[in-house]
Amino acid sequence: MELLGDRSARLAATLAVAIAIPVAGLFYFQFRSISALSQSSAVVLRQLSQETANGITQSLQDALKAPYINVLLRVSQAQTEPLDLSLIAPALDEGLNAQPFVDRYYVWSDLTVEHRDEVLAYDREHRDFTTDVPEAAMLVTRFKELAPQKHAISLFETTIDGRLTYFQAQLRFRFPARDKLTSFVALRVDAERLRREFFPAFIASHFNHVDGPTGFPPLTVTVVDAGGRVVYPYGGPPPTRYVDERTFALVFFDPELQRFIAPEGHKPEMWRLRTGYDNQTIPDIVAARERPQRALMAMLAGVLALGVFFVVRAAAREVRVAEMKSTFVSSVSHDLKTPLALIQLFAETLELGRLKNTERAHEYYRIINSEARKLTRLINNLLDFSRIEAGLRRYRREPGNLGELTRRVLDSLESQFKHNQFSITLHADGDVPVLIDPEAADQALENLLSNAMKYSPDNREIDVDVGREDDYGVVRVTDRGVGIPARLHRKIFRKFYRVQTDAGSGPQGTGLGLAIVDHIMRGHGGFVRVRSEPGTGSTFSLHFPLYAGETHGDETDSGDRGRAADVARSA
């Protein structure tokens, strides 16, 4: 309830809510946009992987079946029965140029006059037909063995010179019974050169045209043969994680014709093409990209929250100070008006000569003098506070006796003590040499005594003790008034701050006295300390550095000196 009644607390809460709601909404939508962007990124990455895998796989299959479509089928049965080498040669030459993985083409015919039953080879080295073909007998024998199955596409693999080699032929039969092999056109592929040269070069040429998304790991493509060896990049390690995988048969014809080949039941090698992002899954990639963005947003949220906190605290502080200043003006007006009214009342009474008793007149003079001193002290506090705020308050310290200074202050306030019926008890050592500004020290001690009277409405006994403690001369003022809670021991030295009673109000005052006392003690290189509990009274002690040598004056200001007093004064 106290917080609800505090204008500064209400303002702080209002500002916090007013700023927090739009900022929270902004961050909510920002986080939503990050999530949406992450989902879009995942879709883009997956789509790129799928399209690349599909595109390269399809291109590989088209390239592998191109020799069958563009060469073996292009050389018709009419060109091989009888052999018309002038028509066959251009097709074979174009095939060697277009399909670099084919090492050699062959033609054979049993229905021709020239080169009957001879295997003619057309290779890259000669670019013409040759009859010196070491594997000729093997080709004729193997294809004749496959001919009874009556399939036009026949293939086998064997080892030549220690290297695995694939052979595939388009067989032609006697029509329509297909009971005799009459001719064939065949091709030869070196398996190792296919792995080492063709696949790496072909995939690299196609993959170079794939543009990967900016800011993500690079898209990678890997081709693995049936034995688990990495063909592309050749000799590289197999990927541990990939996004998409496509399988394709290592055949040199349209895979849909698989059931029409000889030998029947032949199972081709199944190779795999895998696409991925540097051995990372798409969720991991998106999460890694999203994580710093979320961390940045969280950091910005923290910075904004911290900024809002400081702005709200500063605004609340300004409102609190404004309230204190308003209370200060009201208190100053009251403190000036009351003594002036008394002075005016008694001065008019004396001026009109209404008193015939000289003793009564003396009492009026004493009251006028006492109230004038109150006004003087109040005005001095205001002027000193103004100089302190402007940084112009200086202290000219000189040797002095703290006991004598204390007695002088008590004597000057004697009329106020009597008027307010206070009993003062002084305990002072004979000699307590200190280095002080007498005027400022008088003011500090007067402020403490004034507060002791102000906050002691019932028990009107005040003890003043002067002595030494460590390296300080100390004067203590002890009252038996309302006391101060421990949580307020630091606050009472703030400007404009006044202790409130349980009823919600306290004695009138400017709230500057203790703030000026604290400034004076700092300027002397000392400190002020308070010990107090509610209902038992308070003890304020001024600690002045002891004087131990000669001096010719020392002018100082408080600055930041004696900052340790922040702790010491409430110890």
488 vs 382, higher pLDDT: 488
Cα 524 from Cα 402, distance rounded (Å): 13
- The structural domains of the chain, with segments of one domain joined by +, span 62-276, 392-568
Phi, psi of 218 (to 5 degrees): -65, 145
Confidence class for position 3, pLDDT limits 50, 70, 90: very low
- Tens digit of pLDDT for each residue in 253-312? 999 999 899 998 889 999 999 999 888 888 888 888 878 877 887 888 788 778 777 777
- CB–CB of 478/539 below 8 Å? yes
Beta strands in 336-432 (DSSP E): 395-401, 423-428
Confidence class for position 66, pLDDT limits 50, 70, 90: very high
Cα–chain-centroid distance for residue 80? 77
Cα–chain-centroid distance for residue 223? 41
pLDDT, residue 431, reads: 85
pLDDT, residue 503, reads: 43
Among candidate residues 374, 347, 542, 554, the one with its CA nearest the CA of residue 453: 374
pLDDT, residue 373, reads: 75
- CB–CB of 373/365 below 8 Å? no
Token pair, residue 119, equals 């295997």
- Tens digit of pLDDT for each residue in 397-455? 889 898 888 898 888 888 788 878 889 999 888 788 998 888 888 888 888 898 888 88
CA contacts within 13 A on the Cβ side of 415:
14
Identify which of 94-98, 443-447, 493-497 has the greatest average pLDDT: 94-98
pLDDT, residue 494, reads: 78
Q: Say yes or no to pLDDT of 571 above 50.
A: no
- Tens digit of pLDDT for each residue in 106-156? 999 999 999 999 999 999 888 899 998 999 999 999 999 999 999 999 999
The whole model's pTM is what? 0.56
For residue 314, the surrounding DSSP H or E stretch is: helix 282-351
Residue 392, CA distances (Å) to 110, 384, 438, 556 in order:
125, 9, 18, 11
What lies within 8 Å, CB to CB, of 471 at 6+ separation is 545, 546
Q: What DSSP string runs through 275-310?
A: EEBTTB-HHHHHHHHHHHHHHHHHHHHHHHHHHHHH
DSSP conformational letter for 120: E
Matching CATH number, 392-568, of 1.10.10.60, 2.40.50.140, 1.10.10.10, 3.30.565.10: 3.30.565.10
Token pair, residue 96, equals 């060697």
123-151 burial, b if ≥16 CB within 10 A, otherwise e?
beeeeebeeebebbeebbebbeebbeeeb
196 vs 381, higher pLDDT: 196
Token pair, residue 307, equals 């900024």
pLDDT, residue 446, reads: 87
Mean pLDDT computed over every residue of the chain: 83
Identify which of 157-171, 323-337, 374-388 has the greatest average pLDDT: 157-171
Q: Does domain 62-276 have CATH number 2.40.50.140?
A: no
* Burial group, residue 402, by CB count within 10 angstroms (0-12, 13-18, 19+): buried
CB count in 10 Å sphere of residue 528: 23
Beta strands in 84-191 (DSSP E): 102-109, 120-123, 129-130, 153-160, 163-173, 181-190
